[in-house]
Amino acid sequence: MKKIISTTKAPGAIGPYSQAVEANGMLFISGQIPIDPATGKVIEGDISEQTERVMKNIAAILEEAGYRFSDVIKSTCLLSDMGNFAAMNAVYGKYYPENPPARAAFAVKELPLSVLVEIETIAVK
């Protein structure tokens, strides 16, 4: 059985998708971009600031569903430019100080709302 996860502490879905779906002890978090949930707008800032906002959004969804970063098993990071990888990685790494999840990182032609980073996450209990 699947359960839809939603919180006002992360940006609402801007299309036909859910913030996250839990099924059989697994949590699938849709790609998060650096939108401030309080304003509904993309934050201004460089890749470090945008990655920090994305990770806070992921944290809010994990918390709403009763998970923690230590439960994350896979992340996919989408970047507008691989030149931003090191700075994104520095922020991302703060959230996984031990036993980091599996991960893929890709540069893509364009991301929604012209953001610099989007990260999707899978967690398991």
The CATH number of residue 66's host domain is 3.30.1330.40
Percent of the chain with pLDDT over 70: 100
Q: Is the model's pTM score more than 0.85? A: yes
What is the bridge-based pairing of β-strands 20-23 and 102-107?
unpaired
For residues 81 and 109, the answer to whether their CB atoms sit within 8 Å is no
Q: Give the pLDDT score at 11.
A: 95
What is the tens place of the pLDDT at every residue in 37-46? 999 999 999 9
Q: What is the pLDDT of residues 68-122, one digit of tens each?
A: 999 999 999 999 999 999 999 999 999 999 999 999 999 999 999 999 999 999 9
- Domain extent, residue 76, equals 2-124
Domains in the chain, number: 1
Q: Which amino acid is at 114?
A: S
CB burial of 80-114 (b: ≥16 within 10 Å; e: otherwise) equals beeebbebbeebbeebeeeeebebebeeeeebeee
d(CA 71, CA 96): 10
What pLDDT digit, counting tens, does each position of 41-82 carry? 999 999 999 999 999 999 999 999 999 999 999 999 999 999
**Cα(69)–Cα(123) distance, integer angstroms:** 8
